[in-house]
Structure formats: structure tokens, C-alpha cells
Amino acid sequence: MPEYCGVISINPKTNAKRNRVEYEEQQFDMAILERALERAKLVTIDRVIDELSQSVEIEEVSQALAGQVVIDIRHPDAQEDQPLELPGIEIQTLPFYALNSRFKELDYTRQYLLYCDKGVMSRLHAHHLLSEGHANVRVYRPS
């Protein structure tokens, strides 16, 4: 599901040089990895969302109102395949991977509703933006 793996592009490409990778692996202190693995804990994505809600209140709305802007943060392929249409509501497309860096360019006097298919990426990004001090962001979850 692309939303849960939002940091992975559809067709990732690398230009790694085998000898460089092998050299860096030899330099790596494996004890660091072993300590990290000993301390690791498995958390399902649903729990991550629940834990986020405890530190910052993320407001969800089921209906967009005139004057609000819905930001479709889905991958551009999803935006193209299934365009979001809300008559009378301004919609902007801004993929999740560009949202945090470009949100500060938006009009801070407007209210923005983040939209994605399942609500996971929109909640994660809303949490981050609210934590950064942006009070004008909510999550759009149509009913």
C-alpha cells in the first residue's frame, strides 16, 4: 500500500558503486547495529498514529467548507488516476514528499485540509506541521 510506504518512490533508482558500498560496510561498527536491533520495538502504523494523537491534537473534518483549501497530498500518479473533485472547494495538489518544505510558502491566513486515501499520510504530515507551529492545518476525511 503506497500510503504506508510513502517514502518509497514507485520506480526507485540508485547509482551505487559496488566497491564503494563494500568499503563503507567494512568501516561500519557492527556493534552499533546490534545495539540498535536489541533496542528496537515493533510498532504497527495504527499505533504510530494513536501515539501521535496523544502529543498533538489532530483535528479531522468530514466536510470541507467554502474558503478552506483541500491539499491533495497523494502521489502524483494517484492524483492523476483518481482526481479529487469537490465542487465549490479549492483543491491544490502538493505531494506528501514536498509538503513539509513547501507548506511555509502557502498563505498562513488560510485553513488547509490535508487529504490522502486512507488518512495515514495526512495525519502524519498534519502532526508534523502542527508540531512546527502551523495552526492552520487539519485532516480531511470525507464520510
User: Residue 117 sits in which domain range?
Assistant: 1-143
Answer whether 0.95 is exceeded by the pTM.
Answer: no
Number of domains in the chain: 1
Give the domain CATH number at 143. 3.40.250.10
- Dump the DSSP string for 67-90: T-EEEE-S-HHHHHHS----TTSE
Other beta carbons within 10 angstroms of residue 119's beta carbon come to: 19
Q: Which of 89, 134, 94 is nearest to 114 (CA)?
A: 94
State the DSSP H helix or E strand holding residue 91, giving kind and residue range, or none if neither: strand 90-93
CA dihedral 45→46→50→55, nearest 10 degrees, is 10
How many Å is the Cα radius of gyration of the chain?
19
Active site residue 116: yes
Q: What is the pLDDT along the chain (143 residues), one digit of tens a residue?
A: 344 445 555 566 678 899 999 999 999 999 999 999 999 988 776 677 676 666 678 899 999 999 999 999 998 888 898 999 999 999 999 988 889 889 999 999 999 999 998 888 898 899 989 989 999 999 999 98
119: cell is 488518512
Which is the catalytic residue, given 116, 130, 137, 139? 116
